[in-house]
Each structure stands twice: as C-alpha cells, then as structure tokens.
C-alpha cells in the first residue's frame, strides 16, 4: 500500500499496517527458532534429561506434544516438544498429575508465553494501578489476553523471582 501524498489518517493507517506485518514476521521467525532449538539442540536435550532426572518423583515421557506459545509480538504459534508427567501409581484415585515441558522450561518459557511477554505483563501489572488498567494498555499494544490469564502469569513470575532471591 503506497500512497504518494499521505495525509494524517493515511499515514496512521500505513504505520499500523507496517507494525502488524512486522509483528507477524517477528512471531514467525521466533517460532522457527524455538522449534529448531527444540529439534536439533543436543545440549538442550541432555540438559532436559538431567532436569527431569533431578525431580524427586519419577517422571514419565508422555511423548511429543504440540503446545501453543504466546510471543510478545505476533500471533501465538505452536511447537512440538516432549511432555513429562508424574508416573501414575496403581491406586483407585484418578488424580490429575501435572507435568512439564523441560526443554521449554530450560529456554525460559513458562505458562505458555515467552520470557519477554511474561516480563511485559509483570511490568505493566506492577507499574499501573490495577489489573484492568494493565489489561487495557496490553490490549492497546496488541496483546488480547484476559485479565485472569495476565494475573496468573504475574503471580507465577513473582513466585519465580522470590525463589531466585532466596
């Protein structure tokens, strides 16, 4: 979309279109880089194995799973990686055991969002006076998450920060 003599409205429209297109491109590049790292990085695979073996309870490899990740820019994307959960005991209680994606954890991807997005959400939540205000600012920036999701990311990031300090 090229306009010879743009006015203010046209220029704002062009600027928004360029930002949207470059955000999409950034998201696609990030998706490719993360998937490439998950697939071919042997050091990451070894670290994942030792990370899983360090758990106090036995973890079982549930195979390759597809998981959606939200980047700070661009649309959410899906990557494939191994999923581990606690080994099921033979008891009558059908307890849902939570698992983890060790390779994503080692890359700093928690709660299905990139480190930059979780930092941005935490920063907005602490800098502004309320979760609703933080949500509206994030919506203006193109992040269409709900307040409850942002609150859970903020709390999880706060807990991880406290553990790093201790």
Q: What is the pLDDT of residues 61-111, one digit of tens each?
A: 999 999 999 888 888 899 999 999 987 666 555 566 678 999 999 999 988
Q: How many CA atoms lie within 13 A of 147 on its CB side?
A: 8
Q: What is the pLDDT of residues 16-62, one digit of tens each?
A: 888 888 988 988 999 999 999 999 989 999 999 999 999 888 899 99
Q: Is the pTM of this model over 0.85?
A: no
pLDDT of residue 117: 83
- The CA-CA-CA angle for residues 10, 15, 19, to 5°, reads 150
């Amino acid at each position: 979309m090229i306009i010879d003599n743009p006015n203010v409205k046209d220029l704002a429209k062009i600027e928004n279109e360029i930002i949207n297109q470059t955000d999409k491109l950034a998201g696609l590049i990030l998706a490719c880089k993360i998937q490439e790292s998950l697939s071919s990085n042997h050091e990451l695979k070894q670290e994942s194995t030792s990370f899983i073996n360090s758990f106090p309870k036995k973890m079982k490899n549930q195979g390759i799973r597809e998981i959606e990740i939200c980047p700070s820019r661009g649309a959410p994307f899906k990557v494939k990686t191994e999923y581990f959960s606690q080994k099921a005991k033979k008891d009558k209680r059908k307890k849902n055991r939570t698992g983890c994606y060790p390779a994503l954890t080692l890359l700093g991807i928690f709660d299905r969002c990139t480190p930059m997005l979780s930092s941005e959400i935490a920063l907005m939540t602490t800098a502004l006076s309320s979760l609703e205000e933080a949500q509206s600012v994030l919506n203006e920036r193109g992040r269409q998450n709900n307040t409850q999701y942002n609150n859970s990311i903020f709390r999880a990031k706060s807990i991880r920060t406290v553990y790093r300090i201790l």
